Amino acid sequence: MIRKIQTVLHSAGVFQHYYGYNYFQEAILLALEEPNRLQSIRKEIYFPIAKKYNTTIPNIERNLRTVRDALVKNGGLETIESLTGCPLPYNKKPYPKDLICIFADYLSEY
């Protein structure tokens, strides 16, 4: 599953040299493992990642925004639209939690 996550991230313009790449990958894995975690994302996804990487939740959130910004900058919004099958709101950056949900929904089919 890790390889598939990496392939989709790369197709969206997000690569391993971005801060937050590993956090985003972990977040997707946790969401795939138990989708209900998305309803309490700070407690059920960000906290376990922060604990695993010995960092803070605000650091996780900041680095996930870095991933989101890289995705937007590198043209990944078109990839997101193809994954969801619908256009994103014009001039709106999706929240990191929305991206986690979109990737997890897409990858749950595999």
DSSP tally for the chain: helices H, then strands E: 7, 0
Structure confidence by residue, pLDDT tens digits, 59-108: 999 999 999 999 999 988 888 888 888 887 776 889 999 999 999 999 99
**Could you tell me the two tokens for 78?**
């078109």
* pTM listed for this prediction: 0.91
| Count of domains forming the chain | 1
pLDDT at 31: 97
Task: Find out whether 24 and 64 touch, Cβ atoms under 8 Å.
Answer: yes
Structure confidence by residue, pLDDT tens digits, 22-37: 999 999 999 999 999 9
Sequential DSSP letters for 51-66: HHTT--HHHHHHHHHH
pLDDT at 36: 96
pLDDT at residue 16 tops 90:
yes
Q: Give the CATH number for residue 25.
A: 1.10.10.10
- What is the domain extent for residue 77? 2-107
Within 10 angstroms of residue 83's Cβ, the number of other Cβ atoms is 18
Closest CA to 24 of 64, 78, 70: 64
pLDDT at 106: 92
